[in-house]
Amino acid sequence: MNLLFSISDNFTEPLLTTLFSIRNNTKEEAYVVYVLQKEELKDNKLIHKFCQQLQMEYKPIIIGKNIFQNAPASERWPESIYYRLLAHEFLPSDLDKILYLDADVLCINDLSLLYNQNINDYLYAASSHTRLEVTDTINRLRLGNRELKSYFNSGVLLMNLTLIRQEVKSETIYNFIKENHEFLLMPDQDVLNGLYGDQILPLPDELYNFDSRLPFLYEIMSQKEISYDWIMDNTVILHFCGKNKPWNESERSKFSVLYKHYYSQMKRVTNKITSK
Q: What percentage of the chain carries pLDDT values higher than 70?
A: 85
pLDDT digits (tens, 9 = 90+) for 138-173: 444 444 545 556 788 999 999 999 999 999 999 998
pLDDT of residue 225: 74
Mean pLDDT of the chain: 87
Residue 271 has pLDDT above 90, yes or no: yes
Q: Could you give the 3-state DSSP secondary structure of residue 62?
A: strand
Range list of H helices, the chain: 12-25, 44-53, 81-85, 112-115, 133-143, 161-167, 170-180, 187-196, 205-208, 215-222, 228-234, 254-274
pLDDT digits (tens, 9 = 90+) for 166-179: 999 999 988 888 88
Q: What is the pTM of this model?
A: 0.89
Q: Sketch out the chain's domains with CATH numbers.
A: 2-205 (3.90.550.10)
Across 120-124, average pLDDT: 97
